[in-house]
Every structure is written in C-alpha cells, then in structure tokens.
Amino acid sequence: MKLDDIINKLREEIAEKDSLNFSVADERVLSFISVYRHGIEPYRTIAKEWLIRFAINNGFVRNKREVIV
C-alpha cells in the first residue's frame, strides 16, 4: 500500500469524526501529515517514519515492507 494512500485514508477517517470527538491524537496525526507533505529534511524523514509506525500499530498495514514510499 502506498504511503500517500494511507495518509489519505487517515485524513478521511479524521474528517468523518464529529468535531466534538476531535482529539489530541487526531491533531498529532494531521501535524505529522503536514510535516511529511510540506516540511524540509530531516523533519520530513522523521514524519514519514512516524506515519509508517502509526499505520502499522493501527492495522493499516502489517509491517514496514508493505508500505511503498
């Protein structure tokens, strides 16, 4: 699965949530997405690794090898 597809799925799921249920975790995910897409190196690399670990821990993919960057 492409990392951009994972990011789009994360953004969709956060957008579907009721604004009253918006959490600090949602904010953090959106922040890392923003740094990954618009940041400079080395921050972009850090954000990419964090997003990949997040995707693995939350069941979007089973392991790092499944993520296509």
Query: Which single residue is written with the structure tokens 């979007």?
Result: 60
Give the model's confidence band at 19: pLDDT under 50 very low, under 70 low, under 90 confident, else very high: low
The pLDDT value recorded for residue 44 is 97
Residue matched to tokens 């604004």: 19
Q: How sure is the predictor about 21, in pLDDT bands with cuts at 50, 70 and 90?
A: confident
Range 27-45 average pLDDT: 95
Quick one: CA torsion of 22, 53, 65, 9, rounded to 10 degrees? 10
pTM of the model: 0.86
